[in-house]
Chains A and B, each alone.
Chain A
Amino acid sequence: MNLNELYEKARAKWRDLAESRVPVIYLGTASCGRASGAMQTLEAIQKTLAEDHIDARVVQVGCIGPCYLEPLMDIALPGMPRVSYAKVTPRKARTILESVLLKGDFISKLAVGYLGTEGIPPAGIPAFFDHPMLKPQARVVLRNCGLIDPEDIDQYLAQDGYQGLARAFELGPEGVIAEVKSSGLRGRGGAGFLTFKKWEICLASPAAEKYLICNADEGDPGAFMNRSLIEGDPHAVLEGLLIAAYAVGATHGYIYIRAEYPLAIARLRTALSQLHQYGLLGENILGSGFNFEITIKEGAGAYVCGEETALMASIEGKRGMPRSRPPFPAVAGLFGKPTVINNTETLGTLPNILRNGGAWYQGFGKNGNVGTKTFSLVGKVRRTGLIEVPLGTTLREIIFDVGGGTAKPFKAVQTGGPSGGCLSEEFLDLPVGYESLQQVGSIMGSGGLIVLDQDSCVVDLAHYFLCFTQKESCGKCVPCRVGTGHMAGLLDKITRGDGSLEDLDKLEALSQTVQKASLCGLGQNAPNPVMTTLRYFRDEYLAHVETHYCQASVCKDLFEFWIDPEKCNGCGRCRQVCPAAAIHGEKKQVHTLDVAACTRCRSCYLECSFDAIVGREVQPV
């Protein structure tokens, strides 16, 4: 089958779906949807359809972005665009389905928006992509996520999938590299090196065997960009992998993916078998003479295996430990052969660049940055989820426009995961770019954005991240293995109220040593959370050390709860949730809190709707 036949078939199939004579129900069943109960919703949908004898098609799609709205269900009536509903519980699913499909009532107050341009949208429902979270976004990598069935290659082909690969074959390896060079694409894994550079080195190598590795070992706490992309549009990544492999002359590909991503792995496997079926993988792909196979390698759970040399060691069956460079992987990598390792998102971007041209991609980006970048926006922000914005968008735009800001006053944002930095309010207008973040002591990383509000303690945050990097250190080099331990120890001391001013200096000095002397990026960036919080939130450290007070009411030894009699209306909810029976009071009477019995679990603090539970300095007995 040649490509044109494939497209014809795929497009016919897509038209069939788009112009379906029966209603089509789309349900987001990526991991974020499933975590919110999408599979129960799916069951309810199928049950409802069966019980009500409704003829309709159900299509499972990936994550469209606003994870806080999951499970998201779309209903497309014949000749109408898709109408999207949020937080669809099984019960809500039945209500909506019966209303829409049986009565033709879209219940516009429940609808989030409509998707698609075909047909007339129902009245009173805004466009989905006009949603405040989505409007500022630019969907390049994520263009198909949530819109197509990720397990159906035809749906991807119908979106002009694998046209980038076809164009790559027309351009030839040098042409592909030139195109990617003109796009200005930089590695989306964090370091931000120009993608074409290592490609050139690898292509120039005369070696008979070369490898291309897709790094999908996404281990940062709170980061899920790669997972969502693979779950929502695996073929975008695979097409990118094929383009890159063709450009560098690779003979075999690996996808190194966390074993903790079972759904993504399953979807990759499905996609790979489809590629074989369609002749897009294997010998002489599309008659280009290019032979390629892809192996999926599941990571065994070490964070450090996201580091490229450790990743290669892991594929080789060795302990995942980084090694020094040079030699760089493009010269001597996997099994000693020239190897290019690209991040999942980088690969996912490539089909778009090849299809639309480097200049087109250059058109994205703000403030001197090029292209788009996906982020997982999490933490105390109102609208959490997977986003894609032009690179160079400011933190304020991301957090307040896309994310909707925080409920309690904004305090900080941690960029780049555990290896990144914690930035305070003064940096909200900083454009998010590789250099700009580095200048203020943070990193882009793979794209985790963790937003903190006044309820978060930055010392506790730094302690958490240090404990994480310490546990995940491979143990090879001294500064990382031992230094992070001492830093975590000092932070622990400070959060317990035993810290001194001297400890802050020690922390600073240790950070310097670990940063400068560590072998790999894990160690070199491990002090970032500490160094940035020390720099931008020094007052908070000083409060911990000097007045033994944690303003955020997090460090248990450094505050006590107190019920503000002015605000307490005696609703008694705090008393009910207190696991330590430390709160006393009669209904409608001002309650009191027994500090000695209180375990500072924060249950009452989070329960109180009147801000009557207040953290304050420990009072002398």
Chain B
Amino acid sequence: MSPKISLTIDGQVVATQPGQTVLGAAGQAGISIPHLCAYPDLEPFGACRMCIVEIEGLRGYPTACTTPAAEGMVVHTRTAEVEALRREILQLILSEHPSNCLFCEEALDCGAYMATIRKGDVVTGCRSCPKDGQCELQEVIAGAGLTEANLPFHYRGLPVEKYDPFYDRDYNLCILCGRCVRVCQEVRLADVLTFKQRGPAALVGPAFERSHLEAGCEFCGDCVAACPTGALAEKTLKWAGKPEKEVITTCLLCSLGCELKLQVRGDEVMGALPADDPLVNQGLLCVKGRFAAYELLNNPDRLRHPLHLQNGFSQKMSWEAAIDLAAEKLAVCQPDQFAMLVSPDCTNEDLYVAKKFTREVMRSHNVATRAPEFYGQGFGPFAALLQNAGQLAGLKKATTILSIGLDGQYGWSVVAVELRKAARRGARLVTFFPRAHSLSSFAERWLPLDGPALAEALQTLVRLTARKVSGETPADLNSIDPDLASIARALVEAEAPVIIVGPEYLGDPSSSQVLEAVAILARQVGAGVLPLAPQGNLAGALQMGLSAYLVGPNPRTPLPLTRFGCPKGQVEGGKSYRLSSPSLPFRGEKELEDERGKEAQPDLHVLYLVGETPSLDDPAAGFLVYQNFASYEGPRQPDLALPSAAFAEVDGTTINLEGRTRQVRKAVDPPGEALPDWLILCRIAQKMGVTGFDYPDAAAIQREMAQTQEVHPGVTESTEEDLDKEIRVPIHRVMDAYKGFPLTTWVEGLRLLAPDA
């Protein structure tokens, strides 16, 4: 316990800790002092002057937000003089900020006349500000009891800036509280926004009249969230009004597992804000987590009903009919004639049920993800890194950080913020990236290497950091690049270095050498490795044993899956549960082997895609079941399309790259008749008369997963024959994808950020 100090605010004795401001102390005691520029996590600023108070013994009117609370201080927050001054200051603010949302002679009648039959379906009433009703200035003015503006109004007459993705800026509404600037500088350390000009021309924005894109903005949206007025407004949330509730869930758009605060009204996710999760993202988000949710979840291509596609025509059908059709096709399908591809963006529960379905219902080996194809030769080493991944928290203390293949400007900007913090506190940051990138400006060293050169450099580092390797002659050491020698020294000297493996080199032919070198290097120097998997729940998919190539194992990438355990007793949301190797044995393994022995059926009868999109390169199948959240338009049309839920529409769990189990919570119902992936599979299984698929909810699946103690048997040794039959599964080489669809399909702003994608 830190020592307490006590002070008197408005006659009330208030206890607080040293270092707290008067404003903070008052807030703790439930005494509200109006303020506009003060904002959590930001240094005191004292610009809006609304929180002026009187403090006995101090001259004038100090601001509560900048004055440290002191023992015995006597503060008056509501004297007549102070309140009058606040009203005067508000008048000054209102002479620069339009007040038609506040003071209108028709305001009282406005509500009553807005909804009339004549005006049915017509938007009426004034809509002068995109954030009308969510404006802190409105609240403060209401609190001060202002009823009119008495100073001549000066409209800045600035054009509304709409040319950057995701949010618009109307600086005519700006009150220069500087929150956006300070969030950008103090929280994100991005320094994109600043104060420009001075005197009456003073304004905020990127320096030198650049656009946000040109200024290197990460589009984290923190400035928008901090803006107390309508000056900064999300394009998709403009004019939309207030959310009804907020739901905390986990983002599945990459493997960091950031906590999201989804803003919900009715059955619509309106947007997403970062949650104050202390474990992973700590109130930070990247552009995807912050802005993709609305357009992704509410996209016009969402599948709402099961569809039967025949001869190029699609026909809406009932769930009963769809389940019947699927069951009918699957019932006559031999184990080897069935294959299922599951998205690593699905929840653990979906993945588990998919695996169980394939094993127990179809009695087949053939369930996999497209991930091995994404990583190519590097899949095995990457999975091994994932199994031994370090902690994100390691970045906070690391004195030496190696960043391999990470840009971090858009996706992964949560990590980039940590790297900037590390660099600012003096940590040595070395980045390997083939091109100029967002980290190069502040990294101590940037080595622009291509894949093979990187592999060589890392192998050199491995040699340099090996303890007392005999046979290493001084001559060898002399020929070493001094850059690498210095990096090696830094790695050896650092107490807990961190190595980040970003997505850039993952598709490279040399990726396996790179990743293997990383693993050895990390072991030698005791580094924590953060393998940044682009797939949302790849760790979960590995855990469920969904890693193998389709049809038979791939002998080139043996996986010690048993080591892939759950985080050590992670407790989350007050609930403690474990996912311990929930791999499933076959039901009637012997029977299956008999069947396999009898006669191999090379042709696929049914290809079942769960959260994946079809590809022309997929093996030809007699019947293609497509189960996903959005409809697919392409050359390879499915026969049966089943609408499933997306991540904000299901309960469940996911495992992030650290191995941390994260809660996915349902914020809204899936659109139309869409159902969770696991539920669709369960219904088909039940239809086919297989028991053990009658889970009432996702929690029941979790319980079963926790009880399944059997060690995964591994995948049986493959034969020559199997290798011949190996089916090539291509994937979209797009980093920012969800369930087989590039996010740019629907998220317009992301298209602007990556025009080449």
A326, A483, A517 interface centre (most CB from chain B within 10 Å): A517
The yes or no answer to B635 lying at the interface (CB within 8 A) is no
Task: Tell me, yes or no, whether B89 is within 8 Å of chain A by CB.
Answer: yes
User: Known: A475-B202, A478-B49. Is A321-B195 also a contact (CB below 8 A)?
Assistant: yes
Q: Which residues of A contact B151 (CB under 8 A)?
A: 486
Residue of B46, B52, B60, B92 touching A486 (CB-CB under 8 A): B92
| A524: B residues at CB distance < 8 A | 60
Given contacts A471-B199, A476-B178, A489-B152, are A513 and B88 in contact (CB under 8 A)?
Answer: yes
8 Å CB interface, A431-488 against B: 470-479, 481-483, 485-486
User: How far, in Å, is A471 (CB) from chain B's closest CB?
Assistant: 5
Determine which of A481, A489, A517 lies in contact with B176 in the assembled complex, contact meaning CB atoms within 8 Å.
A481
Q: Mark A22-37, 1 if CB is under 8 A from B, else 0.
A: 0000000000000000
What residues on B are CB-neighbors of A489 within 8 Å? 152
- Once the chains bind, are B88 and A509 in contact (CB under 8 Å)? yes
Task: Pick the most buried of A472, A474, A482, A510: most chain B CB atoms within 10 A of its CB.
Answer: A482
In the assembled complex, the Cα of A221 lies from the Cα of B195 at a distance in Å of 26
Task: Give A478-518 as 1s and 0s: 1 = Cβ < 8 Å from B's Cβ atoms.
Answer: 11011101100100000000000000000001100100111
Q: Once the chains bind, are B198 and A472 in contact (CB under 8 Å)?
A: yes
Interface size on B, residues (CB 8 A): 36
With an 8 A cutoff between CB atoms, is A2 at the interface? no
B16 CB to closest chain A CB, in angstroms? 16
B385 at the interface (CB under 8 A from A): no
| Interface stretch (choices B61-69, B124-132, B247-255, B646-654) | B61-69
Closest partner residue, chain B, to A517 (CB atom): B49
Contacts of A324 in B (CB 8 A): 44, 46, 62-63, 66-67
A517 and B89: CB pair below 8 A?
yes
**A319 & B95 in contact (Cβ 8 Å cutoff):** no
Contact code string B168-208 (vs A, CB < 8 Å = 1, else 0): 00000001101000000000000000110111111100000
Most A CB contacts (10 A, CB to CB) among B44, B60, B89, B194 go to B89
A481 near B88 with CB under 8 A, answer no
Contact (A486, B152) CB under 8 Å given A326-B67, A516-B60: yes
Asked, given contacts A319-B195, A483-B92, A513-B85, whether A477 binds B200 with beta carbons under 8 Å apart, the answer is no
Asked if A323 is at the interface (CB within 8 A of a chain B CB), the reply is: yes
Q: How large is the interface on A (under 10, 10 to 19, 20 to 34, 35 or more residues)?
A: 20 to 34
Q: Does B25 sit within 8 A of A, measured CB to CB?
A: no
Bound CA–CA A226/B149 (angstroms): 45
What is the distance, in angstroms, from A319's C-beta to the closest C-beta of chain B? 6
Complex: A476 Cα to B182 Cα, angstroms: 12
- Tell me whether A286 is interfacial, beta carbon within 8 Å: no
Check if A519 is an interface residue, CB within 8 A of chain B: yes
A518 vs B49: C-alpha distance when bound (angstroms): 7
* Contacting residue for B47 out of A304, A476, A483, CB 8 A: A476
Assuming the contacts A321-B195, A473-B198, A475-B198, asked whether A485 and B154 have C-beta atoms less than 8 A apart, the reply is yes
Are A482 and B96 interface neighbours, CB within 8 A?
yes
Is B93 touching A478 in the complex (CB atoms < 8 A)? yes
B89 touches A478 (CB 8 A): yes
Residue of A nearest to B85 (CB): A517
Do A485 and B200 have beta carbons less than 8 Å apart?
yes
Measured in the bound complex, the distance between the Cα atoms of B151 and A489 in whole Å is 11
Q: Is B48 an interface residue (CB 8 A)?
A: yes
For residue A513, which residues in chain B have a CB less than 8 angstroms away from its CB? 85, 88-89, 92
Find residues 140-171 in chain B having any chain A CB closer than 8 Å to their own CB: 151-152, 154
Q: Which of chain A's residues 372-412 have a Cβ closer than 8 Å to chain B? A: none
**Contact between chains at B92 and A470 (CB < 8 Å):** no
A474 touches B198 (CB 8 A): yes
- A319 pairs with B199, CB closer than 8 A: no
Does B199 contact A470, Cβ atoms closer than 8 Å? yes
Q: Which of B443-458 contact A (CB under 8 A)?
A: none
Q: What is the chain B residue whose CB lies nearest that of A515? A: B60
Pick the residue among A323, A481, A519 that contacts B199 (CB under 8 A).
A481
Inter-chain contacts of B47 with A (CB < 8 A): 476-478, 519
In the assembled complex, A243 has its CB within 8 A of some CB on chain B:
no
Residues of B within 8 A of A237 (CB): none
Asked if B92 contacts A478 (CB within 8 A), the reply is yes
| Residue of B with least CB distance to A303 | B198
Is there a chain B Cβ closer than 8 Å to A302's Cβ?
Answer: yes
Q: In the complex where A473-B198, A475-B198 touch, is A517 in contact with B48 (Cβ < 8 A)?
A: no
26 of the cross-chain contacts (CB-CB < 8 Å) are A302-B198, A319-B195, A323-B46, A324-B62, A324-B66, A471-B200, A474-B202, A475-B197, A475-B199, A475-B202, A475-B203, A476-B45, A476-B178, A477-B48, A478-B49, A481-B176, A481-B202, A482-B93, A486-B151, A516-B85, A517-B49, A517-B61, A517-B88, A518-B49, A519-B63, A524-B60
Q: Which residues of A contact B (CB under 8 A)?
A: 302, 304, 319, 321, 323-324, 326, 470-479, 481-483, 485-486, 489, 509-510, 513, 516-519, 524
Nearest 4 A/B pairs, CB to CB: A475-B202, A324-B66, A513-B88, A324-B46
Q: 17 more A-B contacts (CB under 8 A) besides A323-B45, A474-B199? A: A304-B198, A319-B195, A324-B63, A324-B67, A326-B67, A470-B199, A470-B200, A471-B198, A477-B46, A478-B47, A479-B89, A485-B154, A485-B199, A517-B61, A518-B49, A519-B63, A524-B60
